[in-house]
Amino acid sequence: MSDNTQHTCCFFGHRTIHETVGLREHLTAAIERLIVDETVDTFLFGSKSEFDRLCLELVTQLKEKYPHVKRIYVRAEFPYINDDYMAYLLKSYDDTYYPEKLLGAGRAAYVERNCEMINNSKYCIVYYDEFHAPTTRKSGTKIALDYAIRQGKHVIKLSAQ
């Protein structure tokens, strides 16, 4: 990953979200504001959540208007991928990588991957709904949100609208 955190934004959020027209509009406006006003040109994505899917969809739509933006998938699984899987990923993303520090992370791989994305970003767009967060375990989204705040990142927090 480049050292260009000034122009990078990552996304993370709950696996399931309450997707509304209001959420889509607010999220689209936030992403476009980062592109236009803050010169963000790189967006980091994880996987496994409805929020990631929605963010990828909206950034892809905005890429038609702002073709210079890059969508990068940060893998938490599959440190080594074959050409077929790479070609599959490049249908949706402009690039992908697997952070070396995730090797051997086991169950913590997704938390570590989120920290990697946060460390490589100036901005974080987060979908966190405290009323629907898990109660039987620590929310991975909450762990990432707390980490982003401790790291002094610019956090844009969204929830059901």
Where is pLDDT greater, at 56 or 16?
A: 56
Instruction: Go through the domains of the chain in sequence order and give each one's CATH number.
Output: 5-136+147-158 (3.40.50.450)
Question: Of 12-21, 76-85, 96-105, 141-150, which range is least confident?
Answer: 12-21
Judged against a pLDDT cut of 60, whether residue 161 lies above it is answered with no
Instruction: Give the model's pLDDT for residue 131.
Output: 67
Of the candidates 118, 38, 45, the one whose C-alpha atom is nearest the C-alpha of residue 76 is: 45
Arithmetic mean of pLDDT, 36-46: 97
pLDDT > 50? residue 132: yes
Residue 75 bridge partners (DSSP): none
Given a cut of 90, whether residue 155 has pLDDT beyond it is yes
* % of the chain beyond a pLDDT of 70: 93
For the whole model, what pTM was predicted?
A: 0.92
**Conformational region of residue 88, where left means phi above 0, alpha means psi within -120 to 50, and beta covers everything else:** alpha
pLDDT tier for residue 2 given thresholds of 50, 70 and 90: very low
What is the Cα gyration radius of the chain? 15
54-96, pLDDT tens digit by residue?
999 999 999 999 999 999 999 999 999 999 999 999 999 999 9
Q: Please say if the pLDDT value at position 107 is more than 90.
A: no
